[in-house]
Structure 1
């Protein structure tokens, strides 16, 4: 790729990441000021992204991310999950329970990978299914990776509806639980999302997107001893995933 072509790609992603991080529509002048690029260059770049369907222009003449990115994001998430399946299978072999991987998707956790457990009675998670953050093990593990203020803002934005009698519905109570979970290194869901189902989850550090992996099982099988073993296995798996992420970033192909 030529130097000019590489710079164009970098600048396109700079605009997309700016629109993603802003959480709102931006004017051309705001995009220009934030990127520090010349206004004519930014205008050409934004118009190209609009033509490709990745950015949309509102009637207010402000710009926002366009739906075409959803297709790319869903495809990337599924490929990301497929990439992690061998490690999840190894975790299932160690513990016997169903293993899952989820990423932060807006105000929800999105399941991107699942390997069923070895028991006759086992938990099944649908890849592509979005679940609340406040009532799931993976959701809580994702929240532990955010600063407390940001986690609180996200919870208030998403809401914390009661799903079962065990669901935590007060942001302060959940933030206190998350503080303890950071010290423990894992989070738990004790029938908060589905009656009779329990989950133990851990964050995956240095992932491309906020990521968590988990075991889910009928609650009676996740005894304190099993939780300790499961959490240890998950932490080891998360470390291996983080090492693989680091290796791929360091050794990416030169196109």
Structure 2
């Protein structure tokens, strides 16, 4: 059983325009349309390459990385050589493929090991998981995905969701994504929805409707939900988290749909998830 997870790194397109694959072009910083922010393309491409490696795909070759990231092949080759030299990737001549090296692990550990938000979140999430017999997930946004930061499960729930830190969920097609979009400033949300529209093509009308419904739910009651819609056996409820000086977060509760019908969500689980999110926000502020 699995949610619609998204392995690998999001392509740089359409968030940026690769343009001609020349050194001078790569060294140039580009302005992201409508964002008011400048993107340094070599850095963005290197991070996209590192993000492509997952537990399901620990070894990747040049062509696989080209397909996964949308970066031109000559650029991928140059970036790979640099990342190996810097110690972020290991190259196997026998496999003719690359995998993440220890330097990347140290970066990830530094990012999360001392996060007071996640330390507080673990206790709040485990308490909620035990009380609701559900799987609880904390996530944040990475481009057009929600990336999982933390998970807690209730043992009797026995849900094998294969969600772990670093798992990606499409922001357009998951309640966690809808809750995240609802938490973003209007201009940023508008920019992201434009990118989603360009990437999804014929899926867009349906996704636009569900995204709008999810955002409206969050604005009206503080959470959004999906009951057996994306996975017949699963019900998902998600609520945004607002903590100053942190990127927006989202808290989600996942359980078997047989145990989590609409009436129970509206009467019990939805309000409790919103209360848990508010409690986490208050505790995180207190411990700053």
Length-normalised TM-score, structure 1: 0.62
1:238 to 270, 273, 277: 277
Counterpart for residue 46 of structure 2: none
Cα drift, residue 132 of structure 1: 0.6
Q: Distance in 2 between matches of 1:245 and 1:23?
A: 31
- CA–CA separation in structure 2 for the residues paired with 1:200 and 1:222: 10
* 1:69 positional shift: 9.2
Q: Does the 8 Å CA contact 1:156/1:171 hold for their aligned counterparts?
A: no
Identify the residue that residue 287 of structure 2 maps to in structure 1: 248
Q: Whole-Å Cα distance in 2 between the matches of residues 74 and 171 of structure 1?
A: 36
Aligned equivalent of 2:265, options 215, 227, 230: 227
Residue matched to 1:197: 234
Q: Which runs of 4+ in 1 moved over 6 A?
A: 68-71
Which of 169, 194, 209 does residue 156 from structure 1 map onto? 194
Distance across 1 between alignment mates of 2:225 and 2:38 = 30
In the superposition, the TM-score normalised over structure 2's length comes to 0.55
1:69-148 matched pairs, under 5 angstroms: 72=107, 75-77=110-112, 80=115, 81-124=118-161, 125-148=163-186
Q: Residue 138 of structure 1: SS of its match in structure 2?
A: helix
Change (3 A) 1:235 1:21: farther
User: How far apart, in 1, do the equivalents of 2:207 and 2:250 lie?
Assistant: 23
Unaligned runs of 5+ in 2: 1-31, 42-85, 87-102
Q: Quick check: 2:140–2:180 contact (8 Å CA) kept in 1? A: yes
In structure 1, how many angstroms separate the alpha carbons of the residues matched to 2:104 and 2:195?
22
State the secondary structure of the residue aligned to 1:119. helix
C-alpha contact (below 8 Å) 2:170/2:177 kept by paired residues: yes
Q: Is the 8 A contact 2:175 2:224 kept in 1?
A: yes
Unaligned runs of at least 5 residues, structure 1: 1-18, 27-52, 54-67, 250-255
Shift of 1:192: 4.4
Distance 2:113 2:259 in 1: 29
User: Residue 114 and residue 172 in structure 1: after superposition, are their counterparts in 2 closer, same or farther (change >3 A)?
Assistant: same
User: 1:77: how far off?
Assistant: 4.2
What is the CA distance between 1:116 and its match in structure 2?
Answer: 1.4
SS at match of 2:141: strand
